[in-house]
Amino acid sequence: MKIADLFNVESYGVIVTGGASGIGLGYAEALAANGARVTILDVHAQRVENETRRLQGAGLDVRGQVVDVTDHKALDAVLDEAARVYGRLDVVFANAGIDPGAGFIGGWPGAERPRVPEGAFENYTDERWNRLIEVNLNGVFATVRAAVRHMKPRKSGRIIITTSLASTRIEPAIGAAYMAAKAGIKNLMRSVALELAAYNITVNAIAPGYIVTNIGDGHAHNPIEQKAVARTIPMHRVGFPADMQGLALFLASHASDYITGQEIIVDGGQGLGEAD
């Protein structure tokens, strides 16, 4: 068996929600650069246009569609259309997610961490709670359901959900609804994996630690914050979307054929605790 055959995703039909930025864009690039046909779905129209054009300019088979994962009918329609264009859907990344800010602590690891009244649980508004759950939990439900409708009849497919280190380790700077949603999709992943194993569909999760992306207004691009956070990470550096790409290819390809219902954490050891 050659490694290149094991990880081959040539001509696969792939969907990535939240694919126009950060981790999702990294997944899209990794798959497309290895010959997959990739549809980027994202609510941010300008990013969809820019990134689709950039990747097409690099000779990759990428198309983009503007869709909000909270609009389940629209999501169904764009997955149907992508399946029509490709003839099949091999891999669906349920990745779109938001961080609406203000947890109960107002600073990232490594920095000063004062309590923040706005993020305190007694002040958590229904609006913030529901918005987060609508995107990060219900949006993943709708994405996975749309994927299953295409994959089950073919008895083949890969579903990859972006959870978070926060599905097991609480990050107080982010807030309670995010913790609840990420733990929710982790167990949703396990439930769907069990249900669909008999149909040769694997369902796994990638749980990122601290990755520099545009989430939460792009706070992670701040080099002072990166330096402070890096002090708390056993590998002494923050992560980047490129750190996620190898695992994405692994879970999308035959290399992971017999693995389902697993969450794999990519965090430089942050979840283990602090060392030096």
User: Which positions are annotated as active-site residues?
Assistant: 178
Q: What are phi and psi of 109, to 5 degrees?
A: -50, 145
The Cα-based distances of 102 to 171, 184, 271 in angstroms read: 11, 20, 21
Q: Residue 69 or residue 188: which is nearer to ligand NAD going by CB?
A: 69
Does 119 bind ligand NAD (CB under 6 A)? Our answer is no
Contact 148, 201 (CB under 8 A): yes
Is 23 a binder of ligand NAD (CB under 6 A)? yes
Q: Match 């890969």 to its residue by tokens.
A: 158
Token pair for 242:
């490129």
Among the listed ranges 65-73, 151-159, 186-194, 255-263, the one in contact with ligand NAD (CB under 6 A) is: 65-73
Q: Which one, 139 or 184, has the nearer CB to ligand NAD?
A: 139
Q: Measured from the CB atom, is 238 or 249 closer to ligand NAD?
A: 238
Task: Choose, by CB under 6 A, the member of 27, 29, 37, 47 that binds ligand NAD.
Answer: 47
Closest to ligand NAD by CB, 11 or 222: 222
Residue 191 beta carbon to ligand NAD: minimum distance, rounded to whole angstroms: 19
Closest approach, Cβ 154 to ligand NAD, in A, equals 25
Distance, CA of 235 to CA of 263 (rounded, Å): 20
69 or 201: CB nearest ligand NAD: 69
C-alpha to C-alpha distance for 233 and 273, rounded to whole angstroms = 8
Structure tokens at 253: 């390809």
DSSP 101: -
Total residues at the site for ligand NAD (CB under 6 A)? 28
Structure-block tokens of residue 259: 């693995």
Q: What distance in Å separates the CA atoms of residue 170 and residue 13, rounded to the nearest whole number?
A: 35
Length of the chain: 276
- Residue closer to ligand NAD by CB (options 21, 253) is 21
Report which of 74, 175, 169, 72 is spatially closest to residue 128, judged by C-alpha positions: 175
Closest CB 155 distance from ligand NAD, rounded Å: 28
CB of 46 to ligand NAD, least distance (A): 10
Q: Measured between alpha carbons, how far is 147 from 193 in angstroms, rounded to an integer?
A: 13
**Interaction with ligand NAD in 190-229: which residues (CB under 6 A)?**
208, 210-211, 213-215
String of contacts with ligand NAD for each residue 78-117, x by CB under 6 A: -----------------xxxx-------------------
Interactions with ligand NAD, residue window 241-260 (CB under 6 A): none
When asked if residue 68 is in the footprint of ligand NAD (CB under 6 A), the reply is yes
| Amino acid letter for position 248 | A
Closest distance to ligand NAD from the beta carbon of 58 (Å): 19
Strands (E), the chain: 13-17, 37-42, 62-66, 91-94, 157-162, 201-208, 263-266
Residue numbers at the binding site for ligand NAD (CB under 6 A): 17-18, 20-24, 42-44, 47, 68-70, 95-98, 135, 139, 162, 164, 208, 210-211, 213-215
